[in-house]
Amino acid sequence: MNLNRELHEAFGHCWHEKDIKFNFPMPTLWQCKCGICFQSFEDLINHIAQSNPDYVADPRLVIREMEKRKDYGMFILFIYSKLPSKDNNNPDIEDLLELIAIDTTGKFAQLALDWLKGEG
Ligand SMILES: [Zn+2]
């Protein structure tokens, strides 16, 4: 499954996608999985594009979601434990910043998903 979708649903949010096309009654309606209906397919596509976050491209969105959770502190410790150790046995703050603010490979999103699945 798509990592963005899997993480978004693990946060308890709806992943927006085309659900049903109603041809009757007229006019044609396009419904998203969230229940909102649109009178044009283009409006549905715009809604989907604006509603589904890209956690891989912007890992800051992950930290914003995790910050709302009661286990946020434990998650931070988990992330800290996943950083490579340096000479003094402590992870480098630069590695942490890279992970949550710069990396666009999905590492942070995958770690958050692992945590939410209890595999952290
Ligand atoms: Zn929707």
Q: How many CB atoms lie within 10 A of CB 21?
A: 11
Give the model's pLDDT for residue 12. 95
Mean pLDDT of the chain: 90
- Residue in 32, 28, 25, 107 with CA at minimum distance from that of residue 62: 107
Distance 19 CA to ligand 1 centre (A): 9
**How many whole angstroms separate alpha carbon 98 and alpha carbon 106?**
12
Here the tokens at position 64 are 């914003």
Give the model's pLDDT for residue 27. 76
- Which residues, in sequence order, are CB contacts of 61 under 8 Å at separation 6+? 53, 54, 55
Is the pLDDT at 14 greater than 70? The verdict is yes
Distance 34 CA to ligand 1 centre (A): 4
